[in-house]
Amino acid sequence: MAVTDRVKQILSWYSSENPGTLTNLARLLNHGTLAGTGKLVILPVDQGFEHGPVRSFAPNPEGYDPEYHYQLAIDSGCNAYAAPLGSLEQPAAKFAGQVPLILKVNNSDSLAKLEPCSAITSSVEDALRLGASAIGYTIYPASGQRNTMYQDLREITIEAKRKGLVVVVWSYPRGTGLSKAGETGIDVCCYAATIAAQLGAHIIKVKPPTAHIEQDEARKVYEKFQIPIATLTERIRHVVQATFNGKRVVIFSGGEAKGTDAVLAEIKELAAGGSFGSIMGRNAFQRPRADALKLLSDVMGIYKSA
Amino acid sequence: MAVTDRVKQILSWYSSENPGTLTNLARLLNHGTLAGTGKLVILPVDQGFEHGPVRSFAPNPEGYDPEYHYQLAIDSGCNAYAAPLGSLEQPAAKFAGQVPLILKVNNSDSLAKLEPCSAITSSVEDALRLGASAIGYTIYPASGQRNTMYQDLREITIEAKRKGLVVVVWSYPRGTGLSKAGETGIDVCCYAATIAAQLGAHIIKVKPPTAHIEQDEARKVYEKFQIPIATLTERIRHVVQATFNGKRVVIFSGGEAKGTDAVLAEIKELAAGGSFGSIMGRNAFQRPRADALKLLSDVMGIYKSA
Amino acid sequence: MAVTDRVKQILSWYSSENPGTLTNLARLLNHGTLAGTGKLVILPVDQGFEHGPVRSFAPNPEGYDPEYHYQLAIDSGCNAYAAPLGSLEQPAAKFAGQVPLILKVNNSDSLAKLEPCSAITSSVEDALRLGASAIGYTIYPASGQRNTMYQDLREITIEAKRKGLVVVVWSYPRGTGLSKAGETGIDVCCYAATIAAQLGAHIIKVKPPTAHIEQDEARKVYEKFQIPIATLTERIRHVVQATFNGKRVVIFSGGEAKGTDAVLAEIKELAAGGSFGSIMGRNAFQRPRADALKLLSDVMGIYKSA
Amino acid sequence: MAVTDRVKQILSWYSSENPGTLTNLARLLNHGTLAGTGKLVILPVDQGFEHGPVRSFAPNPEGYDPEYHYQLAIDSGCNAYAAPLGSLEQPAAKFAGQVPLILKVNNSDSLAKLEPCSAITSSVEDALRLGASAIGYTIYPASGQRNTMYQDLREITIEAKRKGLVVVVWSYPRGTGLSKAGETGIDVCCYAATIAAQLGAHIIKVKPPTAHIEQDEARKVYEKFQIPIATLTERIRHVVQATFNGKRVVIFSGGEAKGTDAVLAEIKELAAGGSFGSIMGRNAFQRPRADALKLLSDVMGIYKSA
Amino acid sequence: MAVTDRVKQILSWYSSENPGTLTNLARLLNHGTLAGTGKLVILPVDQGFEHGPVRSFAPNPEGYDPEYHYQLAIDSGCNAYAAPLGSLEQPAAKFAGQVPLILKVNNSDSLAKLEPCSAITSSVEDALRLGASAIGYTIYPASGQRNTMYQDLREITIEAKRKGLVVVVWSYPRGTGLSKAGETGIDVCCYAATIAAQLGAHIIKVKPPTAHIEQDEARKVYEKFQIPIATLTERIRHVVQATFNGKRVVIFSGGEAKGTDAVLAEIKELAAGGSFGSIMGRNAFQRPRADALKLLSDVMGIYKSA
């Protein structure tokens, strides 16, 4: 656990937090293949709840077993493993101390098409009980239920910080009045990252943005100041800037499962743009284990040499 | 911290509050260039949450960094710096003790066009933890959600006053059944200031009103009593009167970014009308730092000689 | 504070309440010109919140200042002064102990035309903190939001009674499915008084009823039993009867500002009908101070000789 | 409130605390004549409770009035004023914002000769309500009641730190099994300072130690390592070292009232030994006001040029 | 953090604990030079509180600085660093994430010769706030105050286990009715280890026992069954047996500072007897840093090859 200069620099941005939170943040940054680099690759497996088990695990049925993902996160050298209560808890005793954990404390199922709003499904108390280093929470900016989610997060964040945990926020704009394209528009993505940061998140996860601009008022600003957003690398750099000028760790999801070349090409752009890392679920656990290990290793290699 | 006669007079209007709240009110009135004058210029930076980061900070990209605004508030001699949780917290330890803080405890993003209602995004506990002297809260009178906002404010105000904090209310009428012009109409502005005062606010922030009158019942009164509202100076005087006859500190926002001459001309009218000061966000932080320091200095100069 | 036989009799109707509430009820009945008579004249000033400051105070601009109303209530010999949090609080320390206070704990602004529902704007905790003898609360029977208001009142009443406060309820029928005339119809007025009494109110304020009958089922009964409601005096007697047969203090509002003769003529009928008194806002504070003092003196004179 | 490099250095030793506590620590360090020097002179007036009013105030009867001490602390340029609840509260509203306050939350009277143990006489809630920057607490190491005092302090410290207050601990060994000389013995004084620091105190107040060594085990160490303790300057240097090697602010009391020359001679040694300052009660308030102001000015002059 | 078979075996003895506690136990077992061996060497520095700063740090004055011990624990490759609140907290933010921490939550000073009883000086909440993996607690079996200590430990243990912390108990028999020799007698040492285990401790620290037998009833048993206790190795084996037959981690303190050869000879016997490790304070921090690093390295070497 010798702390590198880069990790010390990152921790210095969080100097208002207590040593407990700094310790858990250091744990995330100091584990696995990327330990000490200031980069993170996290394995998240909440798709069972979010999309249903079959859509999630049929491509690689080993994934129905919660132990599979723990072992994958450990063997691949990920910085952390994130999951909802049930699958994090099931084999937690068996894998105690082998990989930092992020307990996903809210979740949304997709059985009914309702205005998007995640339910709180576990707690800070659970996170401590399971030995997690962080809690994870999803907000849906632009949802008619956004304020409920922001307010619930506020309560949880106060407790998590008091107990020395790290707060990881998935910020996924969707819902009333946002177009499908708008959900990943560059202006919306920057906005989503800022909202999470303002709500007190330590680590922020957003989707890689497209060049689409959703809001007219924003488009004028992009045009007036000629903000470069043509390439993904440029857009990532822009999102990092929009997240407290790089003083909050912002990472990007891999999105839908796709071909290996496409994944690696995207990661290269993320890394070039200054992303602090990736959170890669379906592209990892829906592949056969050997392929997943190879892919994650390649992804980490790209970040390591960034 | 020697307290001037003017500050003592202002504090005397708040004699029902406990010494803790009086102490924090004195802190706000006794800091910076305008210390002791009874006037306030406050730097608020909640636009990242309210309007999104790009619209807010692209004109002066240094503003993406939360530290920039702290330093600007300190170097310009503002009485206080106001911001939402995340950006107030990020460098709070670094700047501890250098400028009074107002923690903005509710916020509203503009990703979706919904009936306006801010979410509670931080707490009195956070304010104490960060060393803030005040909490800030926005209400939207005329919104269908107004009562929710009033009631949440009530809970927060009770706690804030018990803990010796100052309560600053942004009162911005908008929503169902109010015309766009009505949002800044003189009758509505006076009403908005009164609602905030009745809810127990110590410092009230409204927008500079226009001569528009929104409500028919009000128009009859303006006409019958020939209340002078032709000039901005007259309207400010009228708003001050409507705010407990001048016994609550009422300050005015600068609104959208505009030219320096326009800003200063407006400030002169505000000062002539008896405004207790200004809260100036975009007109300050969207300018280059040197220009912002110059502008804020000029604004304070106007209030100082008022 | 020697307690007269009449006051003892009134207190005897509230013998289920704790001695703290009885003490505060005695304070209201034993203060001012009407002390000991069992009659009450109360000065309420919540119009700044309810109708806006300009409509309320432009006729007599001294009224913008919260201190003005305290002084008016004291100098006129009113039994109590009632107001929302902000204006009750502002000079409360200055006037401590000079007049019994009623803290109006809910309020409704009229900026948007929405289904009527007051927001809770202060609390029993505030009432104790400010030294008030009672809390005041408005219900809008017939509103689609009525149950919310009833239920909130229930919570507040439990706490107020436990803490030894008096509960004063403004019962103003309005909203969905009630005609404009129906709001002051005699059947509706009686019904409104009963609802307030059933909700546990100690003092009930209704509007002077007209001879209009709103509900068909009620009309049949009025006709069958030939209940006399032709004159205001008869109707007042009927409302008093409908309010636990006179065992709850019921008082009447003065309504819109009007001429002195009209006011006094109405008061004579109220007094003749057995009203426990009046709550007189706009007719008092919208007059010049000298006129207001004269009018209130005349009103109290009528009640005194009733 | 510009923060000097020295104050920044001191704050850096407290980096585990939240920004609220850092802010209040900065307030203590940035007020009065010694603002920014890293030195503190504090006026404490708890003798009325500790020794009785007559022994405390008869020499200068103006001191019976709580306002006298506030004004003395303000006019002399002390960094802070410390007192028990009653005398801190009595004029707190009048002096709000004029000098940082330390609320002494436990006190011991000397009416009966009992094993020494202070009673908890006020709370963190009081401190916030009165606008204090710190709470003060006395422990009596070596008392048979010491553990009760340590444990009560622990509870209070947790709350104080969470609410952003500074914790000042008076550490005065006395009680069972300690000789009178031992109470100020150098080994005991060092031990007392360490205990306070270990209990989480931010600022520690001890008595200037004598060359007496109380404990045999300690004497062997002093002799073996030839620790220089002959002069007061040497002993102060030793106490500072024993207080986390100078990483906690340790200040010294003046003790019994004595002649001006004796006081100043002692202060010179304290300053030469690296004391962070003095807490001077009886030597200040038992003198006539002019003499007290002169003495405090001279004391501050010594620290300023140290 | 790959977990070895030996660590897995040790964790299997604690399978009734939640995964959080297992995780923190794994953290202790997986850090430093002995990571994965199932052996522990812990640096404890509570002597400043227990014996006073001068007796503790005069031999190596760098030890007055809390940062010194953190750095020593890190650089020497200890499994954990244990200290009371103040010295653990002072540099906790600076060293966050570099070494597992044990917060010593009770402490006893030696200023007065009283019946031994430690005061609770910090809490589980503090442990979480500081990022500690465990709390440490001392009991004094045979003290007249033993039950108070047992009962306080019970409360703290319940909370610690719920929050996923490890409980380390220092079990030091002393007090009324126990001879000085009896404090380290073999029967008493076994008894002390069992009491700690029965109170729910995860890791138990006792002193290396002598061949003295304190209790007559015990002596009969030792003689009857001819239990071998002649050598330290035999006695250690016996203590391990008495601690749930080796199913609780039991470690031994080094006691007073002594010569390097004596220390290493003792450690060899401890290791041969099956000790899980050592907790070595004075023998480490009272030596010059280079010597301490060498000694700790040699000690770890012995355990590694055991």
**Chain A residues touching residue D15 (CB < 8 angstroms):** 15
pLDDT at C255: 67
Q: pLDDT band for position A272 (50/70/90)?
A: very high
- Do the Cβ atoms of D129 and B98 come within 8 Å? no
Mean pLDDT of chain C: 95
Q: Do chains D and A touch (3 or more CB pairs under 8 A)?
A: yes
Touching subunits of D (3+ CB pairs, under 8 Å) are: A, B, E
- Cα C248 to its chain centre, rounded Å, is 13
Is the pLDDT at B1 greater than 70? The verdict is no
Q: Which of residues 144-173 of D touch B (CB under 8 A)?
A: 162-164
- Res B96 pLDDT > 90: yes
| CB-CB neighbors (< 8 A) of A18 in chain D | 16, 18
Q: Which residue has the tokens 């509570």?
A: E46
**pLDDT of res. D130:** 97
Gap between the Cα atoms of E93 and A264, Å rounded = 37
Q: What is the pLDDT of residue A176?
A: 84
Please confirm, yes or no, whether D224 is among the known catalytic residues.
no
* Shortest distance, CA D123 to any CA of chain A (angstroms): 21
Do D61 and D82 form a contact (C-beta atoms < 8 A)? no
Within 10 A of C240 (CB to CB), how many other CB atoms are there?
A: 21
Exposure of C210 by Cβ count < 10 A (0-12 exposed, 13-18 middle, 19+ buried)? middle
B-chain residues near D164 (CB < 8 A):
128-131
Q: Please tell me which of the candidates B91, B109, B112 has its beta carbon nearest to residue A195.
A: B109
Q: Which two tokens stand for residue C117?
A: 């529902």
Asked if the model's pLDDT at residue E27 lies above 80, the reply is: yes
Whether pLDDT at E88 is above 70: yes
Q: Which two tokens stand for residue D186?
A: 């150098």
Average pLDDT over every residue of E20-26: 98
Q: Is residue E256 less than 8 Å (CB to CB) from chain D? A: no
Q: Is the pLDDT of residue D47 over 90?
A: no
DSSP D185: B
Give B24's contacts in chain D (Cβ within 8 Å).
97, 131
Per-residue model confidence as pLDDT tens digits over D272-281: 999 999 999 9
Q: Which residues pair with E166 in a beta bridge?
A: E134
Using the predicted structure, report yes or no on whether residue D293 has a pLDDT greater than 70.
Answer: yes
pLDDT tens per residue across span C160-176? 999 999 999 999 999 88
Which residues from chain E sit within 8 angstroms of residue D242, using beta carbons?
Answer: 53-54, 57, 64
Question: What's the pLDDT band for A48 if we cut at 50, 70, 90?
Answer: confident
E114 and D144: CB-CB below 8 Å? yes
Instruction: Determine the average pLDDT of the residues in C216-236.
Output: 95
Which residue's structure tokens are 């953090």?
Answer: E1
How close A125 gets to chain B, by Cα (Å)?
20
Is A227 close to B58, i.e. CB distance below 8 A? yes
Q: Does residue B2 surpass a pLDDT of 90?
A: no
Whether the per-residue pLDDT at B72 is higher than 60: the answer is yes
Query: Would the CB atoms of A15 and D15 count as touching at under 8 Å?
Result: yes
Res A224 pLDDT > 90: yes
Q: Does C65 touch chain B (CB under 8 A)?
A: yes
Q: Is the dihedral of CA E102, E105, E111, E112 positive or negative?
A: negative
Exactly one of D172, D191, D207, D303 is catalytic; which is it?
Answer: D172
Instruction: Summarize pLDDT for C48-79 with one digit per residue, the tens.
Output: 999 999 999 999 999 999 999 999 999 999 99
Report the distance separating Cα D284 and Cα B94, nearest Å: 36
Q: What are phi and psi of B41, to 5 degrees?
A: -120, 120
Return the number of CB contacts < 8 Å for D and E: 132
Percent of chain E residues past pLDDT 90, beyond the cut = 93
Q: Rounded CA gap, D287 and D256, in Å?
A: 12
Chains adjacent to A (≥3 CB pairs closer than 8 angstroms):
B, D, E
B177 touches chain D (CB under 8 A): no
Per-residue model confidence (pLDDT) at position E253: 92
For residue B200, is pLDDT > 60?
yes
**pLDDT score of A257 more than 80:** no
Q: For chains C and A, tell me whether 3 or more CB atom pairs sit within 8 A of each other.
A: no
Band of pLDDT at residue A115, cut at 50, 70 and 90: confident
Out of A288-297, D248-257, E144-153, pick the least confident.
D248-257
pLDDT mean over E241-256? 92
Instruction: Spell out which residues of chain E touch residue D141, defining contact as CB-CB under 8 Å.
Output: 109, 111-112
Mean pLDDT of chain B: 95
| pLDDT (0 to 100) of residue D160 | 98
Res E110 pLDDT > 70: yes
**Three-class secondary structure assignment of chain A:** CCCCHHHHHHHHCCCCCCHHHHHHHHHHHCCCCCCCCCCEEEEECCHHHHCCHHHHHCCCHHHHCHHHHHHHHHHHCCCEEEEEHHHHHCCCCCCCCCCCEEEECEECCCCCCCCCCCEECCCHHHHHHHCCCEEEEEECCCCCCHHHHHHHHHHHHHHHHHCCCEEEEEECCCCCCCCCHHHHEHHHHHHHHHHHHHCCCCEEEECCCECCCCCHHHHHHHHHCCCCCCCHHHHHHHHHHHCHHHCCEEEEECCCCCCHHHHHHHHHHHHHCCCCEEECCHHHHCCCHHHHHHHHHHHHHHHHCC
Quote the pLDDT of residue C258.
80
Q: Which residues from chain D sit within 8 angstroms of residue E121, using beta carbons?
A: 150-151, 154, 198-199
- pLDDT averaged over every residue in chain E: 95
From CA B16, how far away is CA B13, in angstroms rounded? 8
Q: Tell me the mean pLDDT in the region D184-213.
A: 97
Which tokens in the block code for residue C261?
Answer: 């003769």
Residue A157 has pLDDT above 70, yes or no: yes
With a cut of 60, say whether residue E1 has pLDDT above it.
no
D14-38 pLDDT tens trace: 999 999 999 999 999 999 999 999 9
Q: What confidence tens digit (pLDDT) does each residue in C112-169 have?
A: 878 888 999 999 999 999 999 999 999 999 999 999 999 999 999 999 999 999 999 9
**Mean pLDDT (whole number) for E95-103:** 97
Quote the percentage of chain B above a pLDDT of 70.
Answer: 99
Q: Report the chain D residue with the minimal C-alpha distance to residue A22.
A: D16
Give residue for tokens 């227990």.
E50
What ipTM was assigned to the predicted interfaces of this complex?
Answer: 0.94
Dist CA D146 CA D168 (whole Å): 17
B4 Cβ contact partners less than 8 Å away, ≥ 6 residues apart = B36, B37, B38
| E269-279: average pLDDT | 97
Residue tagged active-site, from A39, A104, A161, A205: A205
User: Mutual orientation of helices C186-198 and C232-242 as an angle, nearest 10°?
Assistant: 30
Read off the pLDDT of each residue in E231-246 and give the average, rounded to a whole number.
96
pLDDT value of residue A1: 53
Residue D255 confidence (pLDDT): 67
Q: Is A172 an annotated catalytic residue?
A: yes
Strand, helix or coil at C210?
strand
C73: enclosing H helix or E strand: helix C66-76
Q: How confident is the model at residue A255 (pLDDT cuts 50, 70, 90)?
A: low
| Closest-CA residue of chain D to A158 | D162
Please determine, for residue D88, whether its predicted confidence score (pLDDT) is greater than 60.
yes
Containing H/E element for D48? helix D47-50
* Cβ–Cβ under 8 Å, residues E97 and A28: no
Q: What is the C-alpha to C-alpha distance for residues C122 and B155, in angstroms, rounded to an integer?
A: 8
